[in-house]
Amino acid sequence: MYSLNYNGYFSDDFSVSAVVGRTSENVENVVASTNPSVYDYRNGSYLSTHTNSSVSEEEYIRDQARIDFNWDLESHSIQFGVDYTKVTVDFSSGQNGVGDAEGWWSVKTAGVDDRSGAPVGTDFIERRIRTRYTDSEVTSLAFYANDSWQVTDQLVLNLGLRYSGFDNTVSDGREYVSIDNQIAPRLQAIYDVFGDGSAKVFATYGRYFQPVSANMNITQGSSSIEWFEYSELDQVDANGQPILEADGSPSRGAMLRDRYWRQRGITEPGLIASANLKPMYSDEFTVGYQQELFDTMSGGVRFVYRDLGRSVEDTDVGPVLAKKLQELGIDDNVGQGSYYVLNNPGEAIQMSYDFDGDGQVDDVTLSAEELMLPKAERKYLAMEFTLDGNVTDDLTINSSYTWSHSYGNTEGLVKTDNNQADPGWTTSYDYGDLMDHSNGDLPNDHRHSIKISGAYKITDDLIFGLVARTTSGRPQSMFSQHPDSVDSCAPGNPWEDCISRYYDQASHYDENGNPAPRGTAGNLPWVTNVDMSLMYKTELLGGGFSVKGTVYNVLNSDTATNINEERARYADTANGLELNPDYGMTTDRQTERYFSLVARYEF
């Protein structure tokens, strides 16, 4: 990490600060064994003794430059500046295993409409290969200006505007996302009610844009090759499990079908992102009141409303595109199978590529009516009450109670309910049928939250600290396989092929195929956490010395913070779905009690 900072004054009223820097990170996993991963879906266990299922090398370099100016006038304080960032992404990954052993290997039982080619009810082996490579960039440039205007002795207006744009490239430098003219206003009014600073009322409005994350250069803009092979079982042991070969791969017989391709390494911007892609943004409104209490404390109330105005998602438009190309009389000679395209859900998608290989680029528009993807929705309401200040000369507290409600059909760039933390790369909107019954209380909805923190001076040199919080548990959902011929999988619907069933337990239905809307399967219990600290400070050799010990989760609480939400799973035979015995089982708990000791010397 390198940085250079500068602060200077042109005059008593005009100052500047600047920073330039670089942060680089290298990540690579080195395997202790070349054995590939072999997983038996029939009983949910690994057959291999692999150390890593994938091998990757990653390098990220972030270059940043920023310059800020501040100009103080009689009733105005004006700030303006420029912010530039470039992130270089160098990434390659593949599956563990040498030669023909490379891959993610699975043992499965064929079901109805199975793409393996195996007879229904028979066991088979699946080999999955997915390699990715990119050497690309993400750049962003923003200009901003803000005026803090003392309109009267009692009224202050903060008037700001931010203009920004960003670009994402593929490996050869071409842009697959290029979005400019993002104009974000930031407005705030603060009114001193009595003119003596004892009470204020305030209101704010802001628009916030979200760029396409750097990881999308890997998941969306890379040269990604993905295919599947399906083979018969060959040699098995007494328990019916395939015997592993010397290279770690499972013993397998004849191929059941031709290789199934999902992606063929195409990095054409016209296939990666819609030509009319617009940025993701949300709007926030707040109104609040704060007043001095008991001379040394203040209390307040604040109302917050946030609304997702537009989202950016990746969708496999393959099923809809196939029908559109047929209507246009264009033969799809690409044979990729899947076409994941960045788009704004609820709006048309514009694609361009030489699909039939005649040397002419085909411009294809899939309308919102043809796609039938619901508009992304996420709303957040909150009411916060605060009480802060000095209870006595030695005791200071900060406390709050927040009632909030987060609801809609998308959590945002991540997906908590199935533990997908790769920004922008979740199952949401991959297919229209995955969004059926997805509207409801979101996984980040914690209806009640109480926080108390404080410090007590035992002596001038010895300070006791406390941070305590308790939060209501998040809502839970049921996930199962999408039933055929209903909702978005109904005949005549663009998603009637019901491809989401290949995602296994990813749709909002129960084990009987009945709708199970998001967030309607109860809530996790409240989570309470208490941290305590003790700090001693003194002078040492002309400088300030302090030592602080902190105990985190003093009560050693172990409340569940996440559970298995897969309500049903594939049966061992062709009898359809069965209740998942692991449904509701705790998968994450609070971090156990631990201790830290920090010593600090300042000179």
pLDDT at 573: 45
**Percentage of the chain surpassing pLDDT 90?**
82
Give bridge partners of residue 540 from the DSSP assignment: 543
pLDDT at 113: 65
Give bridge partners of residue 343 from the DSSP assignment: 313
pLDDT at 445: 96
User: pLDDT tens for residues 300-314?
Assistant: 999 999 999 999 999
pLDDT at 386: 98
Other CB atoms within 10 Å distance of the CB of residue 466:
15
Instruction: Find, among 130, 114, 143, 281, the residue nearest to 212 by Cα.
Output: 281
Mean pLDDT, rounded, for 567-580: 69
In whole angstroms, what is the distance from residue 227 CA to residue 386 CA? 55
Mean pLDDT, rounded, for 415-440: 88
pLDDT at 34: 92
Say what the pTM is: 0.90
Contact 288, 190 (CB under 8 A): no
Mean pLDDT, rounded, for 431-451: 96
The better pLDDT of the pair 425, 381 is held by 381
Give bridge partners of residue 78 from the DSSP assignment: 71, 147
pLDDT at 232: 95
Which residues, 6+ apart, have CB-to-CB distance to 228 below 8 Å? 115, 126, 127, 128, 129, 259, 260, 262
Four-CA torsion 49, 51, 55, 61, nearest 10 degrees:
170
The distance in angstroms from the start CA to the end CA of the chain is 23
Give, in order, the Cα–Cα distances in Å from 249 to each of 45, 416, 472.
15, 33, 46
User: pLDDT tens for residues 146-202?
Assistant: 999 999 999 999 999 999 999 999 988 999 999 999 999 999 999 999 999 999 999
Other CB atoms within 10 Å distance of the CB of residue 574:
15
Which H or E element spans position 301? strand 297-310
